[in-house]
Amino acid sequence: MDIEFNQSKVLKELSEDNQQALEELFNYYYSRLYSFSKSFLKLEYGIDDILQEVFLKIWHNRKEIRSSESFNSYIFTITRNLLLNELRSRLNNQKFRDQMVEASVAEEYLTMGNLEYDELKERVENLIDELPPKQQEIFRMSRIEGLSHKEIAEKKNISTKTVEYHIGQSISLIKVRLEELGLLSVLYFYLFL
């Protein structure tokens, strides 16, 4: 299947309202998204519902998909955001917290039960705001806008190596701060590092 999959062609067909193209995307990405979701949530229940919502969002936004090159980041960003919403909801449930402990989930995840999602998001935004301006801009273009290194390089008129350097520096600085807050595991997924 991977050898025959032409993502550019499939995305073009999707933008032309071809439902078969959505099915091809589903077949191509499902196992990867499932593995990512399972490693994120540490439990399997509910993953299929989340992935259905991912592909529903892709269908609703099919006309806005920019390019085949940035689609991988786009689909994983949608998945990550839905997983964070699910994790937030689940952390309000004592039974789920108990299951997390049984599944040997890192303690950092449990601290999230005491934090509101908005507060968590605000902390991440504050850490990103502390980055040097150029690194901050490139990091946001990559992780929030979902642009590829090549797309950022073209927009900023710099080399892809320079983009990689700035993103690497940003990740290093953010990781240090996250470790200080004791929230590295949870926020690591939030930032999709």
Cβ-contact 182, 110 below 8 angstroms: no
Query: Would the pLDDT of 188 be above 60?
Result: no
Whether residue 93 has pLDDT greater than 70:
no
Q: What is the mean pLDDT of the chain?
A: 77
At 52, the pLDDT band (50, 70, 90 cuts) reads very high
The pLDDT value given to residue 121:
66
Give the range among 91-95, 114-118, 119-123, 160-164 with minimum mean pLDDT: 114-118
CATH class of 114-193: mainly alpha
User: Which of 1.10.1740.10, 3.40.50.300, 3.40.710.10, 1.10.260.40 would CATH assign to domain 1-83?
Assistant: 1.10.1740.10
Q: Phi first, then psi: what are they for 99, rounded to 5°? A: -65, -35
pLDDT at 173: 82
CA angle 51, 70, 157 (to 5 degrees): 155
User: What is the widest separation between alpha-carbon atoms in the chain?
Assistant: 51
Residue 33 has pLDDT above 70, yes or no: yes
Residue range(s) occupied by CATH 1.10.1740.10 in the chain = 1-83
